């Protein structure tokens, strides 16, 4: 497995919500990441894939809700989000594809 493939395993997808758009105004980008990814791994992956300098990485884990799927009780997966703050002058346009 190549190094690029490993980076794509760490960073799953960008999260585009109202809250993440407000964070992007302050130079932060929000990604869904692997649940076992550590902050240094996330930093390395973002710098390698996008060619930017990362200032800080904050993470949060959202526990999956118990919901009904077709009448049966099921549980959504736990999701880990990474709020990646970029150095001054660096930007990532998440509206375009990788």
Q: Is the pLDDT of residue 97 over 60?
A: no
Q: Give the separation between CA 63 and CA 24, rounded to whole angstroms.
A: 24
Q: Is the pLDDT of residue 98 over 70?
A: no
What range does the domain containing 21 cover? 5-86
User: Is 9 within the bounds of a domain?
Assistant: yes
Q: Is the pLDDT of residue 95 over 70?
A: no
User: Is 35 within the bounds of a domain?
Assistant: yes
CATH, residue 23: 3.30.70.330
- pLDDT for res 92: 81
The pLDDT tens digits of the residues spanning 29-66 come to 999 999 999 999 999 999 999 889 999 999 999 999 99
Q: What is the chain's alpha carbon radius of gyration, rounded to the nearest angstrom?
A: 15
User: Is 14 within the bounds of a domain?
Assistant: yes
User: Is 52 within the bounds of a domain?
Assistant: yes
What does the pLDDT average to over 21-28? 88
**Higher local confidence (pLDDT), 98 or 13:** 13
User: Is 73 within the bounds of a domain?
Assistant: yes
pTM of the model: 0.85
Number of domains in the chain: 1
């Amino acid at each position: 497995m190549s190094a690029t493939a490993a980076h794509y395993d760490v960073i799953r997808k960008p999260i585009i919500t109202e809250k993440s758009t407000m964070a992007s105004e302050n130079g932060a980008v929000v990604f869904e990441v692997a649940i076992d990814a550590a902050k240094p791994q996330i930093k390395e992956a973002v710098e390698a894939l996008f060619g930017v300098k990362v200032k800080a990485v904050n993470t949060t884990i959202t526990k999956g809700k118990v919901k009904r799927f077709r009448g049966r009780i099921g549980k959504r997966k736990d999701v880990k989000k990474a709020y990646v703050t970029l150095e001054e002058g660096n930007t990532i346009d998440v509206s375009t594809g990788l």
